[in-house]
Structure 1
Amino acid sequence: MKKIKSVLILVLFFTTLLSFAQAPQGPAVPKIKITGKVVEKISKQPLEYATITFLIPNNPKPVAGGITNPNGEFDIEVKPGIYDIKIEFISFKISEIKQKNLQKSTSLGMISLEEDANQLNEVVIRSEKTTVEIKLDKKVYNVGSDLMVKGGTVSDVLDNIPSVSVDVEGNVSLRGNDNVRVLIDGRPSNAINIAEALRLIPADAIEKVEVITNPSARYDAEGGGGLLNIILKKGKNQGLNGTFIASAGYPENYGLSGTINYKSKNFNLFTTQGINDRSNPGNAITNTNYLNDNNDITNSVNESRKNERLNKGYNGNFGIEWYLTESTAWTNTFNYRKSNGDNVDNVFQNNINGDGSFDYRRNRINEESSNSESVEFATNFTKKFNKDGHKLTIDGSFSTSDDLNYAIITDRATNTTLVKFDNTINNQTQNRNLLQLDYVLPFGKGSQFEAGYRGDFTELLTDYKVENDGVINRNFTNTLEYKEKVNAVYTQYGVKINKFSALFGLRFEDSNIEINQLATNDFNTKKYNNFFPSAFFTYEISDKSSTSVSYSRRIQRPRGRMLNPFSNLSSNINIFVGNPDLDPAFTDALDFGYIKRWEKLTFNTSLYVNKTTDVFQFARRESGDFVNGIPVTISSPINLATEYRAGFEFTLNYSPYKWWKLNGNFNFFRNETQGNYVYTDFNNNEIVQDFNNTASSWFTRITSKITLPYKIDWQTNATYNGPQNNAQGRSLGVFAANLAFSKDILKDKGTLSFNISDVFNSRKRLMETYLPQFANSYSEMQWRERQFTLSFTYRINKPKNEREQPRRNQGDNEGDYQG
């Protein structure tokens, strides 16, 4: 394992050094600046990533070039001279300007490209969109060309993205920070359990994922670690287009999904439908030694568990994008998700005496059934005015979600004939309404003003009941009502002067939170309002390299399980208890970035520093209760004083040959926690736990995609999460790898893919916990065991890897300041 880790690190650093070795050398030569804008001929919509190439007449070798930004604009420096200029975009006719005499900085004006009907009908495409696009302020991960996620879910997609990690329970972290805001089409997910919802949406429904490590004031202030914006497919090409995927796997895993759209001059109809039947077996162990005041072992409990998770789910949406005029579009989307699941959690506890002899075994079987349903209606109205970039957007989202979990817990032990039965019912209902208005006004030369409003209103009712042998247990029965009303306004001003750009923003959020425990008549209201400033500065060193510095202030509000003081009883000696008195945590984030592009390599690096106050920390303590002489341990979240986080990361995209693509990501971070946890134990003694702790860790991932003979694609990725210490123990390092192959068939209209998730069956959470004079423990948790999946993709009027035309309403880039 150590050799594998060393190889990974060496490969990543070698690629970094190679990138610098390829940097052009020599003295600076005076150049002139050539600008312009590339648009679609009919709709006049800008074409992002159009290629502009400068050639010396009668010489096929390019001497300069570049690509357009999201506004279709380009800005390229060349030496004075006479050039042939070629403008290209996939599925459009090439435009050429012959023998253009350029002796001073010149604008080529608006260049219109015409759709090429012949190319649209061809299967062979001249170039393929890269899997990861690296930009200065964000990374954009394009799902279509990733073999690893065929037949998978959103969780599988996120776990393949640079800078992003998904732990064994489906929790998402960004650069090692789990305080991440997950958005779907720019809106917060309406799911009660976001980790479960991400496992329900098929990977094929996703067009791309935006990773924004330091968001501006335009975005919701939630998420101290950054934002992940999942963009769903809506279909863009003219006429009827579609993609269908069928998959089967082992352990038992079946899925069928399809995305289809029909686009005309006046409207675009689109839908994505998906069903799945999944089996996700898992396992866990927790071995605990209980200690006396002298830290000697008094007794031990070795706990093991096997999970058999079965889930049947449906995810579907249907929408229409209506082009009212050339400059006005109205989009309405209806989303529906439903799932039914069964989870048998079989727990064995071997009780060991202090001398190491076996005492007795306890067996707890938790048979859980779950039903989840979510309905959402979303609407978007976009009005574009005469001036390019001048627009008004209005968004609304209205949703309701229900999660019902029912469990029967059977408890047997070899030292007694008594059999106990516990029933738990957890019924959660959530209603969420979201209103948003954004206005963007460019003015002057390189200046832009933006302002907007956002109202987010959520009500979550959690009804939790526990019965012990038919008698309600009042200690674990409660109805928790959570109401959140957040009203926000923001404004931003951006300016670009030559190669320098600046964006200043200020967001104000008024929060009104109600946390009501109806069973105990405990009502708690928290009201607070806060300003969230942001500032971004960018300097273009050249047309291929830029540097930046950015600052933003963020918030993390506790929700759901973190607040609920009642939890499940799958283990009767290790219990999680929420804390309804948790306060929000605030983060100040500073980020320094640099990006450099060469012909075959893109290198992006950043140095970041975060300071979080009232940070959440999980603390373990004795409850004072015992089960057959075994002390019950409670784990609960608390507000700890301050956390300092600093680190650096780099991301590489490297294509040494046309048949080989590499991308790698390395992240190193250091956490320093300052604070004490003071509480009164069951003996009325004041206990002080010192949480001062300094820990370092690292994370790396490398992905290789190779085209083999006979057009077989082979993709491999390997990930390593380094060990990390905390105030009560440490997490151990974990290595995991995935493997995938694909082959086009049926004249390239179909694709067969085979992938193996977690090749070495090594993806687990490994923890060591040290609680002096109480207990030491070691635990392993594997949410999903190794999985094999075979999938078949069939395309209708949609060539493989075809670059779709831009929508008139590019909602995922609304308000991005380009300068």
Structure 2
Amino acid sequence: MKLKLLFFWVFVTGTLVQAQNSGSISGKVLDKTTNEPITYASVEIKEAGKIINGGVTDEKGDFSIKNIPLKSYTLEVQYIGFKKYSSTIDFTSSKKVFTFKIALEEEATQLKGVEIVSERSTIEQKIDRKIINVGKDLISAGATASEIMNNIPSVSVDPQTNAISLRGNSNVRILIDGKPTTIEASQLLQQIPSSSIKQIELITNPSAKYNPEGMSGIINIVLNKNSKIGFNGSINNGVTFGKTPKLNSSLDVNYKSGKFNMYGNYGLNTGKNANHGFVKSTEPGEENYQDFKFNNNNTSHLAKIGLDFYWNEKNTISIYTSQNAFKGKGNSSTDVDYLDPTQPDVLQLFNNTNKNYTQTYNLDYKKDFKKAGHTLEFEVNYSNDNNKEDAAFTAPSATNYITNKGNNTLINLDYTNPLSETAKLELGLESRIENTKNNFLKDGAYNSDFAYDRNIYSAYATFSKQWGKWSAQAGTRFEKYKATADFKKVNENAATFQDDLFTLYPSGFLNYSPSEKNSFNFSVSRRVDRPSIDQVNPIREWSTPQIDSEGNPELFPQFTNSFELNYTRKTKIGSITTGVFYRRINDEITRTLFENPTNPEKLILSYANLDDNNAYGVEVSGNLEFTKWYSSNISFDAYNKKTKGVVANEYVAVDVTTFNARMSNTFKPSKNLRLQLTGMYRGQDLGLQFLRKPMWKIDLGSSYTVLKGSGTITARFSDVFNSMHFAFNGSKPKQQNGQFNWESQSAYIGFNYRFGAGKNKALQRKERDKNETQGSGGF
């Protein structure tokens, strides 16, 4: 008992002595302009430049630091977007308590704190992706995401089908804000207004953390939003004049105060489009000339609203919903003129109305532990879409009514633990439940229906380590995949399809940075392309007098082993990245055209699995500023592919090298005026059935800043020489050639206005919204 009392007396005496020989500081940090409290500002106490204590302000802007030894120190308060506050504190036996009221002054370099859209797009090369920050030059390049994509390095969009490809391959996965969508990519890109896009990320060799779909990688479209203090936003309006005017508008608003950040975005894209083309068949005995004319009037509304709740410094809850409503009306004509006078010509008229409504709901919880970078994140994402098409044909006369409903539920759990300053462990679980139902009525009566369900359960583990100038990451994704499909059609036996697989998807990265100006990165991964719902759906997608387009329920997945090496060189005028890649593709999925077995005069456009194939290539891109008044984004790529397989009952093999290039130049004659000159070239491409001819164009643009930097007027003239069109030659299954034209030559005028006085906040928002790897080891 005496011993316990002795210990207690020693403890109390030590505590009293420490209290008598230590001091404390407290205070409040405010915005000098608005007099509002600043949350999460950094407060540091330094001795001879070394931090000996510190903290952050709470939601009221208050801070308190105790038990400070009685010495002389420097007090520093910092917050992003504000000038640093610094003051000397002298603790003595007679002065142990200090109270401050600190008003931080905004940095003079900020323009009212408003986030300004860059005049020109910039390209960042990161460890696992290439990021294109969308500037006004790309926004004015077109009204939709589809038109922007054609101006992105290594990306192309088929003008006929709107199918997107990366490095010459259409097996690419599209994400919106890092999330999958139930809408087919070809339709989705037509619905997103260009002014709603903030970034486009090209992830050509994703790590095990990401879903393995997409042979050529992932394209992630990041929509606008921000999290600045106060109320701020921007309004963007633009009109594209082709044969008819097209409107592209968006409104972005944000309000951040205390623990809450609320944001909203609305985009409108509406207008008429007129396209035309021809296909000439030279097949002996079947010579004909098909003339196509297409007119569409589309309107798309895209809205997104969200809320971030910063429960405290370590816990964040985020919710958002996006709503997309699309309505399109179209009419077209197909005029088939046969060379044989005994065969009657055909004129088919087509009218259709397409309505699609898609909604997404997302909940995310982020937990930050005491150790920096130690996090746990849980996310639930649900989306569904309802698509209806009402179409009428003549020659022969028929009506089609198609409904397509889909649901997608995604549940993620991600855990990140920096084991040390140079090592990091990442673990995760994911569940995806998807289902689609399709119903087809012909002439008002039931014709067929199609149901497709798939469940994917996966887990991943990655470990990264940095030592000196080297860093590495290795990981594996474990995935259980199950899919079932049921197809019923009148007068036919019901058909079923099943697929049940357990697969491992390893990945690895190795990075070497001999200096700040040089960086080498090698990566390897295994990926899969599972047949999409549209690819396996045997119900008619579209039809002409000569061709029916439909899916193939017999498709099976293709697997790809991908290798990539990149070198980035930073110079005084910018950065240049050079990369080479190689892909080994098993059972490649491709478009195929073959004779209709029930009607030899018609063709069926569908999908098929080919043999094992190879592809390799090189890419070079640079983001350079030669002088204060001249800068340029330059990129080119060349890739070779060897493809072989059976098409039209014949074994075919091709070996082709394709070259693409793009150059965007920005000139600055004055502080407020910018001029742009952009050119692109896409080389010819040879497939098993078609040769696609080269495509090229040149665009001119300008922008002028007004209203003391808050407004920008943009003008652009696209395809100056009206040279952009899609042309092809085909030999299988029939000899034919053709060309399709759209409103490539157009003029654009737009105005962007930014308002509000928000400042950047220091606390990061949830990382998964960016779908980006974080942390030590360069990963």
TM-score calculated relative to the size of structure 1? 0.79
Does the Cα contact within 8 Å between 2:556 and 2:609 map onto a contact in 1?
A: yes
- Distance in 2, matches of 1:815 and 1:656, equals 32
Q: Distance in 2 between matches of 1:796 and 1:593?
A: 40
Alignment of 1:421-436 (within 5 A): 421-436=397-412
Is it true that 1:672 corresponds to 2:662 in the alignment? no
**Deviation of residue 219 (structure 1)?**
0.5
Task: Find the aligned partners of 2:691 and 2:757 in 1 and give their Cα distance.
Answer: 50
Residue 40 of structure 2 corresponds to 43
The question of 1:381 aligning with 2:373 is answered no
1:154 matched to which residue of 2? 145
Distance between the aligned counterparts of 2:140 and 2:240, measured in 1?
13
| Distance in 1, Cα, partners of 2:259 & 2:78 | 27
2:6 is aligned to: none
Counterpart in the other structure of 1:64: none
Amino acid at match of 2:397: F
Q: 1:810 matched to which residue of 2?
A: 767
Taking the aligned partners of 2:150 and 2:563, their CA distance within structure 1 comes to 25
Cα gap change, 1:199/1:604 in structure 2, threshold over 3 Å: closer, same or farther?
A: same
Residue in structure 1 matching 2:293, options 306, 323, 329 = 306
- Per mean C-alpha deviation after superposition, the further-off stretch among 601-610 and 756-765 is 756-765
Deviation at 1:795, TM superposition (A): 0.9
**Residues 393-792 of structure 1: matches in 2 within 5 Å?**
393-411=377-395, 420-467=396-443, 477-519=447-489, 520-568=493-541, 570-626=543-599, 631-677=601-647, 688-709=649-670, 711-771=672-732, 775-792=734-751
Partner deviation per Cα, 1:66-124 (whole Å, 9 max, x = no partner): xxxxxxxxxxxxxxxxxxxxx9998343799xxxxxxxxxxxxxxxx977255445589
CA spacing shift, 1:798–1:558, aligned 2, 3 Å: farther
Supply the distance in 2 between the matched residues of 1:306 and 1:232 (Cα, whole angstroms).
34
Asked if 1 retains the 8 angstrom alpha-carbon contact of 2:644 and 2:688, the reply is no
Deviates more, 1:202-211 or 1:583-592: 202-211
Choose from 233, 256, 259 the match for 2:252.
259
- Taking a change above 3 Å as real, the CA distance of residues 326 and 746 of structure 1, as seen in their structure-2 partners, is same
Q: Does 1:328 pair with 2:289?
A: no
Q: How many residues align?
A: 685
In the alignment, structure 1 residue 230 sits paired with structure 2 residue 225: no
User: In the aligned structure 2, how far is the partner of 1:218 from the partner of 1:492?
Assistant: 7
- Quick one: structure 1 residues 814 and 701, their matched pair in 2 at CA, closer, same or farther if it must change by over 3 Å? closer
- Which residue in 2 is equivalent to 1:8? none
1:163 Cα deviation from its structure 2 partner: 2.1
CA–CA distance in 2 between the matches of 1:237 and 1:125?
9
Cα distance in 2 for partners of 1:618, 1:45 equals 57
**CA distance in 1 between partners of 2:84 and 2:359 (Å):** 45
Question: Separation in 1 of the partners of 2:700 and 2:374?
Answer: 46
Match of 2:238 in 1: 247
Distance 2:129 2:235 in 1: 30
What do residues 419-462 of structure 1 show as CA deviations (whole Å, max 9, x unaligned)? x3111122110011110010000012300001001111111111
The answer (yes or no) to whether the contact 1:143–1:157 under 8 Å persists in 2 is no
Change (3 A) 1:244 1:515: same
Aligned to 2:92: none
Cα deviation for residue 314 of structure 1 reads 1.0
Mark the CA change 1:348 to 1:785 in structure 2 (over 3 Å): closer, same or farther: farther
Q: 1:399 to 1:130 in 2, by over 3 A?
A: closer
| Cα distance between partner residues in 1 of 2:714 and 2:697 | 20
Contact 1:404 1:427 in 2 (8 A): yes
CA contact (8 A) 2:624 2:632 kept: yes
Q: Deviations over 1:527-570 (max 9, x none)?
A: 11110000100011211111111100001111132112231453
Q: Following the alignment from structure 1 to structure 2, what is the Cα–Cα distance between the partners of residues 133 and 757?
A: 25
Give the secondary structure class of the aligned counterpart of 1:234. coil
Q: Conserved in 2, the CA contact under 8 Å of 1:173 and 1:180?
A: yes
Question: Structure 2: which amino acid aligns with 1:463?
Answer: N
* CA distance in structure 2 between the aligned counterparts of 1:317 and 1:148, rounded to whole angstroms: 19
Deviation readout 1:472-493 (Å, 9 max, x if unpaired): 6x9xx32111111111100000
Q: Unpaired runs of 5+ in structure 1?
A: 1-40, 47-86, 97-112, 291-296, 412-419, 678-686
Alpha-carbon displacement from aligned partner over 1:145-176 (angstroms, at most 9, x marks no partner): 43543772222333332222222132221122
Q: Which residue of 2 aligns with 1:166?
A: 157
Give SS of 2:320's match. Answer: strand
Deviation of residue 783 (structure 1)? 4.8
Name 2:131's counterpart in structure 1: 140
Q: Does residue 185 of structure 1 match 2:191?
A: no
Deviation at 1:651, TM superposition (A): 0.6
Specify whether residues 190 and 267 from structure 1 end up closer, same or farther in structure 2 by C-alpha distance, changes over 3 A only: farther
Equivalent residue letter for 1:43: Y
Partners of 1:127 and 1:421 in 2: how far apart? 51
Superposed CA deviations along residues 373-423 of structure 1, whole A, max 9, x for unmatched, are 011111111111111111011111111101111111112xxxxxxxx3111
Tell me, in whole angstroms, the C-alpha distance in 1 between the residues paired with 2:321 and 2:520: 41
Structure 2 residues not aligned, in runs of 5+: 1-37, 44-76, 87-102
Q: Is the 8 A contact 2:240 2:747 kept in 1?
A: yes
- Secondary structure (helix, strand or coil) at the match of 1:157 reads helix
- Partner SS for 1:189: coil
Instruction: Provide the C-alpha distance between the structure 1 equivalents of 2:381 and 2:245, rounded to a whole number of angstroms.
Output: 36
The amino acid that maps onto 2:240 is G
Residue aligned with 2:740, SS: strand
Deviations 1:754-782 (A, max 9, x none): 223333333322221113xx620002223
Amino acid at match of 1:285: F
| Aligned counterpart, 2:185 | 194
Q: Distance in 2 between matches of 1:634 and 1:814?
A: 41
Q: 1:624 to 1:149 in 2, by over 3 A?
A: same
Matched, 1:797 2:767: no
Q: 2:672, 2:701 → 1: CA distance?
A: 14
Q: Distance between the aligned counterparts of 2:525 and 2:557, measured in 1?
A: 17
Change beyond 3 A, Cα 1:124–1:436: closer
Structure 1 residue 813: deviation in Å? 5.4
Q: CA deviation at 1:360?
A: 4.6
Seq. identity, %: 25
Instruction: Give the stretch that moved more between structures: 135-144 or 654-663.
Output: 135-144
Query: Is the counterpart of residue 91 in structure 1 residue 95 in structure 2?
Result: no
Could you say which residue in structure 1 is the equivalent of 2:99?
none
Q: Is the 8 A contact 2:164 2:185 kept in 1?
A: no
Q: Secondary structure at the match of 1:156?
A: helix
TM-fit CA distance, 1:635? 2.5
Question: How far, CA to CA, are the matches of 2:731 and 2:317 in structure 1?
Answer: 58
RMSD (CA atoms)? 2.9
Matching residue's letter, 2:367: K
Once residues 307 and 376 of structure 2 are traced to their aligned partners in structure 1, the CA distance between those partners, rounded to angstroms, is: 19
Aligned partner letter, 2:303: G
CA distance in 1, matches of 2:529, 2:288: 36
* Distance across 1 between alignment mates of 2:482 and 2:745: 44
CA distance in 2, matches of 1:625, 1:633: 10
- Please give the alpha-carbon distance, in whole angstroms, between the structure 1 residues aligned to 2:133 and 2:211: 23
Whole-Å separation in 2 of the counterparts to 1:798 and 1:658: 29
